[in-house]
Amino acid sequence: MYSFLTTSAWTDYELIDCGNFEKLERFGDYVLARPEPQAAWDKHLSEGEWERLAQATFKREKGNQEKGQWQLKKGMAEQWFINYRYNDLKLRFRLGLSSFKHVGLFPEQDPNWQFIYDRTCALPGKPKVLNMFAYTGGASLAANAAGADVTHLDSVKQVNFWARQNMEASNLDNIRWLVEDAMKYARREVKRGNKYQGIILDPPAYGRGPDGEKWQLEEQINELIKLCSQMLDPENNFFVINLYSLGFSALILDNLIKASFGKTVQNEELGELYLQDQAKRKLPLGTFFRFSSVK
Per-residue pLDDT reduced to its tens digit, 266-278: 999 999 999 999 9
Asked if 34 and 101 count as a contact pair (C-beta separation under 8 A), the reply is yes
In order, the DSSP letters of 268-286 are: -EEEEEEEE-TT--EEEEE
| CB of 177 closer than 8 Å to CB of 132 | no
Domain boundaries in the chain?
7-79, 105-292
pLDDT of 65 reads: 66
Kindly give the parts of the chain with pLDDT less than 50. none
Distance CA 261, CA 216 (A): 22
Contact 208, 215 (CB under 8 A): yes
Quick one: pLDDT at residue 3?
93
What is the C-alpha to C-alpha distance for residues 120 and 88, in angstroms, rounded to an integer? 13
**CATH number, domain 105-292, options 3.30.365.10, 3.40.50.720, 3.40.50.150, 3.20.20.70:** 3.40.50.150
Distance from the Cα of residue 279 to its chain's centroid: 25
pTM greater than 0.85: yes
**What distance in Å separates the CA atoms of residue 283 and residue 285, rounded to the nearest whole number?**
6
Instruction: Count CA atoms closer than 13 A to 280's CA, side-chain side.
Output: 0
Superfamily of domain 7-79: Golgi alpha-mannosidase II (2.60.40.1180)
pLDDT of residue 62: 78
Confirm whether 7-79 and 105-292 share one CATH topology: no
- How high is the pLDDT of residue 209? 84
